[in-house]
Chain A
C-alpha cells in the first residue's frame, strides 16, 4: 500500500536498527503529499456516505410533498376535511366521507383518521400494559440467567413479519372473536388493534427495559440500603426515574401502530365508517394507500390525494419520533454522570 519504507530498507540491508544517534534525519521528513491527499479523500468519501440517512429523509420529504401537493390543483384543503353536498333545493350539507372514485368524489380524511385512531389507540393501551410489564420483569425481576433467554424471545417477537400477523388475525383471530363477542362486523377495529399490539408490545417492552437498565445502580442500592422493599424500590425510585424513557417508548409504539399497514389492511375490514364502535369495520390511512394506490391512474386527483395521506402519515410519525428522541436524549444526559 504505502510505499514510504525507509524502515524496511534498513532492515532488508540487515542493519542493526540501533545506530540511531547517527541518523537523525527521519524526524525532519515532511508529510508525504500523496499520503495526505489519500487520507483526506478517504475522509470525504466517508463523509458523503455519512449523510445518507439525512439525504434520504430529505428526499422522502421532498418527493412526498412534490406529489402530494399537486392534489391542491383540484382539491381544496377543506375538501380533505368535509365535502359540501349541494341538494337540489339549493341547501348544502357537510359530508365526511372518503369516496374518491365516485362521480361526486369525496376526499374527507376524517373517517380514515378516526379509523387509524380507533385501531392505534386501543393497540397502544393494551401494549403499554403488557409491554411495560414485560419490560419491568426483564429489567428488575428476572434473574440474569432467565434474562439471557427471555430477551431474545422479545426480539424474535419483534421479528415476525406483519403480513403473518395480519394473516393470523384474518383467519384465526377474526373467527375466534366472532364466536366469542359477536361483533358488528367480523373484521373490525378490535381485531386489527389486537394484531397491532403484537407489533407494538416488543417495541415498548425492549425500550422500557433499556430505560430501566440505564438507571444507575447506585439508586437501587441507596433505596435497598435504607431498608426499602423491592416493590417500594421499583415503584418509588426506579419507575419515577424511568418515566421519561417509558413515555418515549409508548410514543414510539404509538407511531408504529399508526404507521403499520398490513395488519390493518387485512384485519380491520376496510370500510371507511365514522364510528366509535370498536367492533365495527374501519379503514385506516395506511390501508387506504395500500389498497388504492395499485388501481388508481397516475396523475389523477385520487392519486395525488393518496400521496397527501402519505404526507399526513409521515408528518405525524416524524413528530412522534422526534419527540421520543428528544425525551430519550434528555434521559441519557441525565443518567450519565
Chain B
C-alpha cells in the first residue's frame, strides 16, 4: 500500500489556484491604488472652509458647499419618492401576488430596469418628467414656464426610478427571509393578512430594507449622467432653498423648482470644462475625496448592516 504514501502532485491545480489568487490581489491593489491616490492628493485640500464655503473666482478657488447641499437635497427627495414605491411594490410581489406570468413579467421588468443605461434615464427624465409631466402641468395650472424646465424635483424623480430596482430587490430579499412559520403563527392567532404583514413581517424585514435604502442613496449620490440635463448647474450663487411661511413663521425648505449644484457633476465640470484645469487640480481631488468618502461610508454601513442581518437570520 505504499501508493497511499505517495503525495499526489496537482500541478495544474497549484498554478490555477495561484493565478486566481493573483488576479484577486490585482483587484485589491487597483482599489487600494484608487483610494490612496485620491486620499493623498485630496487630503490637503479638505478643510472646514472647503466643505462649508462656496466656489470663488470662477470656480478656481473656494469650497464645494453648494454641491454638497445639492447632492443631499436631490437624494433626499429621491429616496422620499423611491422608498414607499419600492417597498410597496416588493410587498405586493412577495406577499400578495401569486406566481403567474404577470408577476414574472414584473420581476423581469425590475431586473431590466436595473440594466437601463444611466444616460437613457436622463433622456427619459427629459422626455417624460420635464416635457410631458412638467409641460402639461404648466398648461393645466396656467403657470407659464414653471414646471416644464430642468429642476431639482425632476432630477430626484428620475433618480428615484433609477434606484427603484435596488430598493425592490433588497426589500424582496428581506421579506423573503421572514420564516413562513412566523406568518403561520400570526394567521393561527387570527391575524388578517395586513395585520400579519404590518406586525410580523415588516418589523423583521426592517434591517434588510434599510440596507437597500442606504445602497440606493449611495448610488443616487454617485450618478452623474442622468442629471446632466435635468437641472444640474455649473455654478449657482444661491442654494435651492425657499422660505415656506405660515403667517410670520417661516421655515427654509428645499426648493424643488430650482436648479442645483451636484457633487458628482461638479467633479466632471472641474475636470473637463474648467478654465484652468491645472490650477483646480487640488479642488478636483478634494471634491472627489468628499464624494468617495460619502459613498464609501454609505456602502460600508450597508454592508455591515446586511452582514449583521444575515447573521441574525443564521444565513452566514
A182 within 8 Å of B (CB atoms): no
| B187 contacts across to A, CB distance below 8 A | none
Given contacts A53-B165, A150-B24, A159 and B295 within 8 Å (CB-CB): yes
Q: Is the CB of A141 within 8 A of B97?
A: no
Q: Is the CB of B10 within 8 A of A50?
A: no
Q: Give bound CA distance, A156 to B55, whole Å.
A: 30
| A54 contacts across to B, CB distance below 8 A | 105-106, 109
Would you give the 0/1 interface string for A240-265, flagging 1 where the beta carbon is closer than 8 Å to chain B? 00000000000010011011111001
Q: Is the CB of A155 within 8 A of B106?
A: no
| A148 contacts across to B, CB distance below 8 A | 307, 316
B281 within 8 Å of A (CB atoms): yes
Would you give the 0/1 interface string for A109-135, flagging 1 where the beta carbon is closer than 8 Å to chain B? 000000000000000000001100110
Q: Give bound CA distance, A157 to B292, whole Å.
A: 11
B108 within 8 Å of A (CB atoms): yes
Q: Is the CB of A129 within 8 A of B120?
A: no
What total count of A-B pairs have CB within 8 Å? 271
| B222 contacts across to A, CB distance below 8 A | 159-164
B200 within 8 Å of A (CB atoms): no
Q: Is the CB of A137 within 8 A of B21?
A: yes
A155-210: which have CB < 8 Å to B? 155-157, 159-168, 170-172, 198, 201, 205
Interface footprint category on A: 35 or more
Q: Which of B13, B131, B132, B218 has the most CB of A within 10 A?
A: B13
A313 within 8 Å of B (CB atoms): yes
Q: Give bound CA distance, A137 to B26, whole Å.
A: 12
Q: Is the CB of A56 within 8 A of B299?
A: no
Q: Is the CB of A259 within 8 A of B118?
A: yes
Q: Is the CB of A47 within 8 A of B225?
A: no
Q: Is the CB of B38 within 8 A of A39?
A: no
Query: Which of B44-52, B56-64, B121-129, B249-257 sits within the interface?
Result: B121-129
> How many B residues face the partner with a CB closer than 8 A?
91
| B110 contacts across to A, CB distance below 8 A | 53
Given contacts A63-B132, A229-B13, A50 and B120 within 8 Å (CB-CB): no
Given contacts A56-B161, A230-B13, A46 and B117 within 8 Å (CB-CB): no
B112 within 8 Å of A (CB atoms): yes
B117: contacting residue among A159, A232, A260, CB under 8 A: A260
Q: Is the CB of A53 within 8 A of B168?
A: yes
B299 to chain A, nearest CB (A): 4
| B128 contacts across to A, CB distance below 8 A | 59-60, 63
A66 within 8 Å of B (CB atoms): yes
| B221 contacts across to A, CB distance below 8 A | 161
Beyond A49-B89, A156-B299, 18 additional contacts (C-beta under 8 Å) are: A50-B89, A57-B113, A57-B116, A64-B120, A129-B23, A160-B34, A161-B223, A161-B295, A167-B271, A198-B34, A229-B8, A230-B10, A265-B272, A290-B225, A294-B228, A313-B119, A314-B117, A317-B120
Q: Which B residues have a C-beta under 8 Å from some C-beta of A?
A: 8, 10, 12-14, 16-17, 19-21, 23-24, 26-28, 30-31, 34, 37-38, 84-86, 88-89, 91-93, 95-97, 105-106, 108-113, 115-124, 126-128, 131-132, 161, 164-165, 168, 192-195, 215, 218-219, 221-225, 228-229, 264-265, 267-268, 271-272, 281, 284, 288, 291-292, 295-296, 298-300, 303, 307, 316
**Closest 10 CB pairs between A and B?**
A259-B117, A50-B92, A231-B13, A161-B222, A49-B88, A133-B23, A261-B225, A321-B115, A63-B127, A46-B92
